[in-house]
Each structure stands twice: as structure tokens, then as C-alpha cells.
Amino acid sequence: MRLLACLLLVWVCAFAPGLATEPDDPGSPYIELELFARALQLVRQDYLDESKVSYKDLVHRALEGMLEDLDPHSQFLEPKNFKTMQEETRSEFGGLGVVVSKKAGLLTVVNPIEDTPGFRAGLLPGDQILKIDGLSTGKTPLADSIEKLRGDVGGKVTLTIRRPSTAEVFDLTLVREIIKVPSVKEARILPARPPSNLRIGYVRITQFSEPTASELAEALDRLEEEGMQALVLDLRFNPGGLLHSAVDVCGEFLPPNTLVVSTEGRHEVREYRTRKNTTASRGFPLVVLANHASASGSEIVAGALKDLDRALVVGETTFGKGSVQSVLALPDGSAARLTTAHYLTPGRNPIHGHGVPPHIALPIEAEDEIRILENRRRRESPGGNETFEWDRQVECAVDVLQAGRLHQARLAQ
């Protein structure tokens, strides 16, 4: 046992040089590691099922439990899950296209990614996944549930879903696909709404991945060539993504070297700014649409553009997921995804647990949300109708832009 404890201490010295006792924790970490080593030895020696007690499996499960118990967003990533996460940030991966998290102990759909099996099957934000292929998700670690949702392309997976809004429970059988996610969609000039002839553009961002900012720049260039004079930026149902991608999206609308968001952790405060070498920002009037399912990167963009008086925000208070997860690679190819800080908007408003409130609050009913998502599915299905379908929040955004234009025209008289 002491040999095992010594080996653990060697590992700590080699790979965790920052480990130290905190002022409110007078104990020694090495004493606690000896306790862990003793428990590890006893499980390895005496547990009935020998196939479950390799040192690697035991240590990985211990790390998994330790991180998952901290908060819903911290987790241990097995080497294959870490690799999959890296692939996702490049906007191409295999699976069902469902962003999930643990909420009140239940595996919950944060958002189905558009044009994926989960989206086309009709999954909605807030749906609870009770079972995957007949196995309960209740006590399954988040990383393991995510792994079960993924698999061979063409393989089937059956989900047992509970929909809280209706209390119905039903099964969905989906087929895994390679998920390619264009994150900027439906860039277009909206149909004119009398009495104004203002040419208003519309762009929807589904998530923030590596190519998002460049995709947005291309879409805006094209719309400006078509005579766009104002823009509605739709971030509804956007679950977030990469921090630097959200900052770069803000860079399309803000001057160079502008503070977009800061992170405040235990040991440091960091600032994230638009690039110093960006070209002049686009100056057209801007309205951002957000709702309760706009999270993380969406909240960074909405919060920055709101605080800096660059855009009006219309819709609902956002999700309130404003914690920063740092992914720390470990020596065996695994990683720890650890909450290390909270986001603050340029006005130093916290996002986590609060969300970004809109300038103009316009909540919509659950059936209207379902209709919006169904319309998106229909437009993106093979042979789908490309006609834009209005909803109350888009109409309000357009009315705001038209009213601003009329007010400017009166001032100029």
C-alpha cells in the first residue's frame, strides 16, 4: 500500500506541481492521497468482479465522480471523448446532433443542432432523455451518456424521451450521421414590410465553432452587396460554443481592440477583445434576437453588443450559462474539463445564473417556439420551402429597425 501511495505522490510531483494547501484547508494533500491509495488497493484486492478493477478504470472512475460532483459543467473526459470534443469544435463529427447536459440529475436536451437527426426527429430544448437503448441515464455520468449517443455512422439508437411541457413519454429511434454544421444560416434580405422600404438583412447563427466568424463575414459581405441597410441577428436556440469564435463575431460589429467579455476566476481576471488588426466595423443598425435557450457564446455576443450600445436585444432573458470551462489535458490522453471562471459583460454584469435581459421583452408561448423550430426543419428538409416565415419576435425586431430609421429621417429634416 505504501508503495502505491509513493507512486501517487510521484505522479503528483510530476504532473500537479501547483497542488498546495489552501488557507481554509490546513490538511496535507499527501495524507488524503494515502487514504485514496489505501481505498484503491482494497477495491483492487477484494472487489468481487475482477474485470472492473484495473487501476486505470478505478482511477478514471474516481476522477469522473470527483469532477461531476463539482458542478454540472465540469467533467472527466476519457481519451476518446476528449478526441471527439476536439473534432466537434471543427464543426464535423458523428452522432445525433444533440447538445445535452445534466439538469437536476436528469440528462436534458439543451438544443438539437439544426439539420441533424435529433433536430429532424423533433427533439426540443428541455426534453429529458430517460433511457438510451433501454438503459436508464439517471445515474450514468454525463460523459458516458454522450458516448452512447455517438457511435458508428448508420447505427441506430433509441431514446426514451420525457417532454416536461406535456408530461408525455415516448421513444424515438434515430440513425447516427456525420454531423457537418454550417453555423451561419438563412442569410437573406427580408421581405419589405410597409410603410418602410428599409432593406433589412437577417442572419441566424446556430452555434459558435471555428469557422463561424468567417462564415458570418462572407454572409454580411453578400447582403451588403445586395443593399442591406440594417440587420437582425438571430441567436435564439443557440447553445454557444467557442469563446474566441463569439469574440470574433462581435468583431464584425465593434471597433478593433474593444473589450467584449472578461473572465474572473480565483487567481486572475482575463480580458477578451476584438482583434487589433480588424478592418473598420460594420456600422448598420442592428437588433439581436435572443431567448431562454440562447446560452454561453450567444450570451457573450448579446451582452457585449447590448452593454456597448451597439445593438438592441429583443426577446427573452437568456439561459444564464456564464461559467468558463478550461480543458486540461492529462498525461494518458484524457482531460479534465473544469469550471475555472465566470463571464462578465463589458459593463461587468455577471451572466451565470442571471442571463442577459433584453431591451424589449417579448416572450412567446411554447407552441410558438415549436412552430418556429418546425418551420426551420421544413425549410431545411430536402425540397423544403425557402419562403421566410415570420414570427412575433422577428416582426418586433423589424419594427424597431424601421422606427429607428424613421426617427433618424425626422431628425435630419
321 is annotated as an active-site residue:
yes
Q: Would you give the end-to-end CA distance of the chain in angstroms?
A: 87
**Read out DSSP for 320-362?**
---EEEEEEE-TTS-EEEEEEEEEE-TT--B-TTT----SEE-
| Active-site entry in 102, 321, 323, 334 | 321
CB atoms within 10 A of CB 149: 21
**Read out DSSP for 189-231?**
EPPP-TT----EEEEEE--B-TTHHHHHHHHHHHHHHTT--EE
CB atoms within 10 A of CB 319: 25
* Residue among 224, 188, 190 at smallest CA distance from 203: 188
Q: How far is CA 138 from CA 145, 169, 386, in A?
A: 10, 15, 41
| Active-site entry in 91, 294, 296, 323 | 296
Q: 35 burial class (0-12, 13-18, 19+ CB within 10 angstroms)?
A: exposed
131 is annotated as an active-site residue:
no
CB atoms within 10 A of CB 167: 7
Q: Which residue has the cell 462578465?
A: 344
How far is the C-alpha of 156 from the C-alpha of 150, rounded, in Å? 10
Asked if 401 and 287 touch (Cβ cutoff 8 Å), the reply is: yes
Helix (H, G, I), strand (E, B) or coil at 388: coil
CB atoms within 10 A of CB 54: 11
How many helices (DSSP H) and strands (DSSP E) are in the chain? 11, 19
Residues 6+ apart with CB under 8 A from 67: 74, 75, 76, 336, 337, 338
| Active-site entry in 115, 127, 234, 307 | 307
CB atoms within 10 A of CB 51: 7
Asked if 79 and 133 touch (Cβ cutoff 8 Å), the reply is: no
How far is the C-alpha of 317 from the C-alpha of 358, rounded, in Å? 6
307 is annotated as an active-site residue:
yes
Please list the active-site residues: 296, 307, 321
